[in-house]
Amino acid sequence: MGNPLKIGLTGGIASGKTTVSNFFITLGIPVIDADEISRILVQPGKPAFKHIIKIFGVEMIKNNGHLNRAKLRQLIFADSEQRQRLEKILHPRIRHTMQEHVSKLCCSYCLLSIPLLLETRQQNTVDRVLVVDCSVELQRQRLMLRDKLAYNDAEQIIKAQAKRERRLTIANDVIYNDGNVEQLCKQVWTLHKIYSSLSIE
């Protein structure tokens, strides 16, 4: 079997990407998650961790020695220049690690979960783009509930990402996550059959 078909999974924050990823995982499909890789890369002692502390200061270290991700996130979503500085540290490392993981796979297709796929111009690194979509209102509501954020804080994070309409313009496939779990599952199953057939061609 050759290289697997690479499906770039993306969507706005709190749109339901993790739920969709988990459905694909239950079908036996490998999911390489940029956020998970990022968490590993910023563990204490790692080169990316040291680089972040050098740029953003020791106040980004929690008492237990780990990176204060919540504080860093608050900083970068409030300041686009700071966000770009962090992206220059993390994104090349994340991209390289994801490519390494894909090269070791032996399967028909895999998912590369990249929340900032559009923002980091990575759509050309995948074979197809799958967007998980829901209304901005629902997205904001889920984000406030999940992360216990105030309305303005949630709005700031959403506005820092690409607009919903822009994500949809690069999509080969869309999963609409504004219904129930059963509807979501049906959409995943339909795409699973399509991706499996494409990988055979």
Could you read off the pLDDT of 28-75 as tens digits, one per residue? 999 999 999 999 999 999 999 999 999 999 999 999 999 999 899 889
CA distances from 122 to 7, 13, 112, 117, 146 (A): 12, 17, 11, 5, 27
**Residue pointed to by tokens 């992360």:** 147
**Homologous superfamily in CATH for domain 5-200:** P-loop containing nucleotide triphosphate hydrolases (3.40.50.300)
pLDDT digits (tens, 9 = 90+) for 142-201: 999 999 999 998 998 899 889 999 999 999 999 999 989 999 999 999 999 999 999 655
151, 160, 13: which is closest to 79 by C-alpha?
160
Please tell me whether residue 161 adopts helix, strand or coil conformation: coil
DSSP code of 68? -
pLDDT at 200: 57
Note whether 176 and 134 are within 8 A (CB).
Answer: yes
Domain spans, the chain: 5-200
DSSP code of 148? T
pLDDT at 24: 98
Q: What is the mean pLDDT of residues 110-114?
A: 97
Note whether 79 and 87 are within 8 A (CB).
Answer: no
Residues 168, 53: Cα–Cα separation, whole Å: 36
Burial of 150 (0-12, 13-18, 19+ CB in 10 A): exposed
- Other residues' Cβ atoms within 10 Å of the Cβ of residue 198: 14
Q: What is the mean pLDDT of residues 8-18?
A: 95
pLDDT at 32: 98
